[in-house]
Amino acid sequence: MPKSKRDRPVTLSKTKKKGRGQKESQVNSIRGAIDSYSSVYVFSFENMRNLKFKEFREQLKSSSRFFLGSNKVMQIALGRSAADEIRPGIRKVSKLLHGNTGLFLTSLPREEVQKIFNAFEEIDFARTGSKATEKVELKEGPLTEFTHEMEPFLCKQGMPVRLNKGVVELVSNFVVCDEGKPLSPEASRILRLLGIKMATFRLHLICRWNEDDFELLAKGLDEDSDVETS
């Protein structure tokens, strides 16, 4: 009887003993999960928010399983060539594990999976380095949304403010951020104080594999493409 590719030993070189053990454990977990679910998807993510993603995973844990971590380890688990892939054609999935990507294993119908992923969206405050989605400029005059105790903090953020009879006052117009430019640490703090959310946590399906078929779901890709994510 031929030996299953899934049972082949895995070599993960150039890692410390503890780290190698963790990676081998993930490889074995992924390979074991392949037997339990009918479909494997690659998904990409933008503006990841760990708490929201944990909640999303919990909603689907009865029918599905997610894997995130080292793309290289996930590629090794699936196989990267015809010689070492653990299922026919699954190497095509490995090829699309680049950048901010993960694996989603499920037995849910394709249409339901697409509906769930397309509907998922969480708006949150943008972090330092994120690109501003709009220009935010504060006009000269009283800033009634801030209490007088906040004046020293606002000064430290570079805002030209002063106290005028106990009211925080902007002495000149101040641009917090410009559309399309990365947010500075100060800008991200000011936007949070203003209650302005510019980050949207989204998940995008890239491809789907099962025993009978491989399908690209992201637009603008072909089977020889690598995934580019922001």
Instruction: Render the burial of 129-147: b for 16+ CB within 10 Å, e for the rest.
Output: ebebeeebebeeeebeebe
Alpha-carbon span 145 to 113, nearest angstrom? 43
What pLDDT is attached to residue 228? 41
Q: How many CB atoms lie within 10 A of CB 189?
A: 18
From residue 79, how far is each of 16, 61, 82, 209 by CA, in Å? 22, 25, 8, 14
What pLDDT is attached to residue 52? 95
Which residue type does 188 have?
A: S
Q: Which two tokens stand for residue 184?
A: 């500075």
> Global pTM?
0.79
Residue listed under structure tokens 């037997």: 35
What pLDDT is attached to residue 219? 76
- The answer for residues whose C-beta is within 8 angstroms of residue 198's C-beta and 6 or more apart is 125, 126, 130, 132, 133, 134, 183, 191
Name beta bridge partners: 216.
207
Q: For the chain, what is the HEC assignment?
A: CCCCHHHCCCCCCCCCHHHHHHHHHHHHHHHHHHCCCCEEEEEEEECCCHHHHHHHHHHHCCCEEEECCCHHHHHHHHCCCCCCCCCCCCHHHHHCCCCCEEEEEECCCHHHHHHHHHHCCEEECCCCCCECCCCEEECCEECCCCCHHHHHHHHHCCCCEEEECCEEEECCCEEEECCCCECCHHHHHHHHHHCCCCEEEEEEEEEEEECCEEEECCCCCCCCCCCCCC
Give the pLDDT of the chain (230 residues) as one tens digit per residue: 444 555 555 555 554 555 778 889 999 999 999 999 999 999 999 999 999 999 999 999 999 999 999 999 999 999 999 999 999 999 999 999 999 999 999 999 999 999 999 999 999 999 999 999 999 999 999 999 999 999 999 999 999 999 999 999 999 999 999 999 999 999 999 999 999 999 999 999 999 999 999 999 987 666 555 544 33
